[in-house]
Structure 1
């Protein structure tokens, strides 16, 4: 079983979040994407403090699928510099983690 990752990103609105979610699932680069409620982000960008309403996504994937996932996010994301943070999952329900691994492995995925 490949190492499981939880990847976080934010989108500017629900429509772009849903579009990216569908691409990640259809491409097999993510087993599951959880779209959270809109949140307010405050950050420094180009020497200015900005505040924006964003839609967070929690993406469950594997280290093996991560390069494809990152490339897809970069190609589809509307931001110039999207937040893409991958956190290793160190523990979890074994059956769930196995499912994530199988759902993102090209040779094991059911079409």
Structure 2
């Protein structure tokens, strides 16, 4: 094989000229890698401060309560998204007895600063005497998704 801009390769007596194909493909690959690399870098460079957002959890006795709470939470901009997880089984102690209940779980994504207002909304609109509202700070995640939460839920 000859080395140069126009390498020649001899295959069983036939000659195959590769005229700048290698250079062209190399250039296209480098261009593609730069584009993909820059996009990945720009997404990775979006900074997220750990704990800025939270995932909150609320249990509900039935689908009607779950949907009403979820809709109200999103409409009042207390969260960007509420997932309703059906058919969970809760085992807990209440008034000295072990109870078992079928419930639904709300998974709520919001700003951490909104948790007090979210808890107040749930307490005011939930049928339970003591409604569950717990939250965990979001340490990290998909930068565009975390940005979306911040865009939907105002400070």
With the length of structure 2 as denominator, give the TM-score of the two structures: 0.66
- Normalising by structure 1, we get a TM-score of 0.91
**Any idea what SS the aligned residue of 1:5 has?**
strand
| d(CA) in 2 for partners of 1:56, 1:13 | 10
Shift of 1:40: 1.0
Given candidates 95, 98, 101, the residue that maps to 1:52 is 101
Q: Give the Cα separation in 1 of the matches to 2:81 and 2:126.
A: 18
Gaps (5+ residues) in structure 2?
1-47
Cα distance, 1:22 vs. partner? 0.6
Q: How far does residue 101 in structure 1 lie from its aligned partner after superposition?
A: 1.2
Give the number of the structure whose residues are more often helix, by fraction: 2
Segments of 4+ in structure 1 off by > 4 A?
A: none
1:89-108 matched pairs, under 5 angstroms: 89-105=138-154
Give the CA deviation at 1:85: 0.9
Over aligned residues, Cα RMSD in angstroms? 1.3
Aligned residues: 106
Most deviating of 30-39 and 64-73: 64-73
CA contact (8 A) 1:65 1:105 kept: no
| Match of residue 75, structure 2, among 26, 36, 48 | 26
CA deviation after TM superposition for structure 1 residue 31, in Å: 0.2
1:75-90 mapped onto 2 (5 Å cutoff)? 75-90=124-139
Higher relative contact order, structure no. (Cα contacts within 8 Å, ≥ 6 residues apart):
1
Q: Which runs of 5+ in 1 are unaligned?
A: 107-111
C-alpha distance in 2 between matches for 1:28 and 1:101: 11
